[in-house]
Structure 1
Amino acid sequence: MTPRKATYSDEPTRVQQLIGEFLTGQSGTSVGADGLDVRLTAGADAKDDCAVYDLSSPMSLVVGSDYIRGPKFVLYEMGLLSGFDIGYYLAVANVSDIAAMGATPIGVLSVVRYPHEVDDAEFQEVIAGIHQGCTDCGTLNVGGDIGNAERIILSATAFGVCKPGSALMRSGARPGDLLCVTGPCGLLGAAVAYFPKRDTFEKALSDEVERRLLDGWKRPRARVAEGRILGTKAYATACQDTSDGLKATIEQIMHASGVGFRVVEEDVPVEPAVGMVADLMGVESLALSMSASSDFQLAFTLEAGKLEKCRAEFALAGLDFHVIGEATDTGRAESVNHLGAVRPLPGVAWKHQKSDISLLATGRVEE
């Protein structure tokens, strides 16, 4: 096999020759939904400084921004994730915040900074990942910024729209509301806990389980459809994605809403691969599942009387969720098991500690 010859173009050339194929045909696209008339009048293909949207009906504009290149990408440094993978993750991470507000994503602006040793093919791989992530989320990468930096730096801003007054907040939960989550959490945190220390464990996991751990990073999914159901149908009283981990998310909703939460431990879904990593680490599966991670499930609350209608609505769309507890008036986040034993929520919430995930899961934290 003949080695690929690396080429290194300047920024204008990369914009003109390497990015264009991902940006064609945007201008004039209708990007609204749910009766909201939104048209991308000038997209990135127009080659102007900004994208232009025509908004022809009353609506709320939802905007969120995330910088996601950092120590959590140790798996990229290890060669386990590609440039395409981290570009894809960038898009999904930003759209996930829009989904958690119950909004329809209408575009993503991305910032891609890279060191001089990143050649054209590597650069284009990142852009292709961003493009595919946006496509799979049902939206468009409408431009942004590229340029040099001391290392790869990825950031983005996502935009969404929803009907006025329908945006989902963290602050609407009330005592008696059910606490729900769209699926198991902790997979991405478990991957970061496992792979850097794989050689220190008594045995490695199977190839199939390792692929499952990496797939969480390679192809995460923003819960856009779930968020739209919760928002447009006014089912959720509060909602947030679990990108800081399930425990942190529950605590953030708790503080914003001024309530407490009691979680039923046996009702929290645990991904089998997370349980296997927890066994190797000698920690509780539930603790690792709820600890710092970068999953994009939705945690939400809803009135108990709306449970069956909401579940039926999800089922019609081929979706599901788990009821894992309820809001209380205690002001505390705690869990209870089938024996009735009550304790603080297991696991460690992500608070920008220096510690790696494996330390966080065991409660040993470097501030």
Structure 2
Amino acid sequence: MTEVGEFSLIDRATARRRQPATTEIGPGDDAAVVRAPDGRVAMSIDMLVEGRHFRLDWSSPRDVGAKAVAQNAADIAAMGARPTAFVVGIGCPPTTASSVLDELSDGIGSAAEELGAGVVGGDLVQAPSLIVSVTVLGDLEGRAAVERSGARDGDVVAVAGPLGRSAAGYALLREGITDGPLVDSHRVPTPPYASALAAARGGAHAMIDVSDGLLADVGHIAAASGVVVDIDSAAVPVDPAVARVAAERGVVAALDWTLTGGEDHAFAATFADGTVPAGWTVIGTVRAASPDAGVLVDGVSWTGSPSWESFT
């Protein structure tokens, strides 16, 4: 970083970026100004720390940037909003090569622009390791936010997007396998944003981004809504590539990765029966808690692999 200086790096990162119409004032001033057509702003923040959430011998800086955007945008989409703007904070050692920061900025900027959003500001500071903190703003487009607490007795539970692919890719990386679509899924998740917005427009009662594993995140819906969610394991879509990798190793069932693997950034939601949009797969039902809220698999508590935990 010392080879070119902080302000030169910031100038290079911002000069290449396009801004959407919602950005009135972008990078270069004391603060950004972003239009909020709805009158409300959905907002979320997430952080990636080198050695805990990514490794630069496994992922390129561009991959890390794209992943940071995806996991933040998925949180906004899970509320039924459309991402409009990102603010990025980066911490790094002073010895960090400028090329690493350039690639990281390109990954962030390109991923944001693919969503029709802009990177409207940020900060760059020294830190003991590479840290990427992203704040995202989103537009609800006049709809009520889809909260975790809206699941109702009689709803069905459905999922959209890949499950288990990131966990399988992580297992491959740990074995030294650095190429292939499952590894790519771990490096850069591909949330089905359009499916989340279709769910919001179609009247989903509750929705969540599957970041910590399907059972853990559906458990958040169950707890917030005060209901029991019963997952039908036979209805859960198991990716053929995930099943093949699991079978080849014989150490974990593909269903375990599918139900508990983290960082896929698929979506889970509950709907009134008969209102599930195209692109969603029904995997279970919701009933009133009796007596406690929680998640069951085939009517009983899950005894397989524990869900992924980002903090431990």
* TM-score, L = length of structure 2: 0.91
Q: Is the contact made by 1:83 and 1:125 (CA closer than 8 Å) also made in structure 2?
A: yes
CA separation of 1:214 and 1:253: change in aligned 2, threshold 3 A:
same
Specify which of 292, 296, 304 is matched with residue 334 of structure 1: 296
Between the two proteins, the alignment pairs up a number of residues equal to 307
Q: Which residue of 2 aligns with 1:285?
A: 254
Residues in 1 aligned to 2:251 and 2:127: alpha-carbon distance in whole angstroms? 40
Contact (CA 8 Å) 1:183, 1:322: kept in 2 or not?
no
User: 32, 52, 68: which one pairs with 2:33?
Assistant: 52
- DSSP 3-state at the match of 1:93: helix
- CA pair 107-239 structure 1, distance change in 2 beyond 3 A: same
Give the match for residue 72 of structure 2: 94
Give, in angstroms, the shift of residue 224 of structure 1. Answer: 2.5
Partner of 2:125: 147
CA RMSD across the alignment: 2.2
User: Does the 8 Å CA contact 1:72/1:192 hold for their aligned counterparts?
Assistant: no
Cross-structure match for 1:124: 102
Q: Which runs of 5+ in 2 are unaligned?
A: none
Q: For residue 284 of structure 2, what is the aligned residue in structure 1?
A: 325
How far, CA to CA, are the matches of 1:86 and 1:281 in structure 2? 30
Amino acid at match of 2:244: M
| Equivalent residue runs for 1:234-273 within 5 Å | 235-273=203-241
The CA deviation string for residues 288-317 of structure 1, in whole angstroms up to 9 with x for no partner, is 21114101111000000323xx23xxxxxx
Contact 2:23–2:118 at 8 Å: present in 1 too? no
Alignment partner of 2:89: what SS? strand
Residues in 2 aligned to 1:353 and 1:281: alpha-carbon distance in whole angstroms: 28
- 1:360 corresponds in structure 2 to none
Match of 2:25 among 32, 42, 58: 42
Structure 1 counterpart of 2:168, one-letter code: A
More helix as a share of residues = 1
Of residues 285, 305, 310, the one that matches 1:347 is 305
Q: CA deviation at 1:281?
A: 4.9
2:152 and 2:62 map into 1 onto residues whose CA distance is 42
Give the whole-Å Cα distance in 1 for the aligned partners of 2:46 and 2:311: 18
Q: CA deviation at 1:193?
A: 2.7
User: Larger Cα Rg: Structure 1 or Structure 2?
Assistant: 1
Runs of 4 or more consecutive aligned structure 1 residues displaced over 3 Å after TM superposition: 70-74, 350-354
The answer to whether the 8 Å contact 1:176/1:303 transfers is yes
Q: Which one of 48, 63, 67 corresponds to residue 68 of structure 1?
A: 48
- The 2-side partners of 1:20 and 1:262 are apart by 48
> Whole-Å Cα distance in 1 between the matches of residues 140 and 201 of structure 2?
8
Structure 1, unmatched stretches of 5+, are 1-5, 31-38, 312-319, 337-341, 355-367
The code of the aligned residue for 2:232 comes to: V
Cα-to-partner distance string for 1:293-342 (whole Å, 9 max, x where unaligned): 101111000000323xx23xxxxxxxx12111111224331112xxxxx4
Aligned residue number for residue 184 of structure 2: 215
SS at match of 2:274: helix
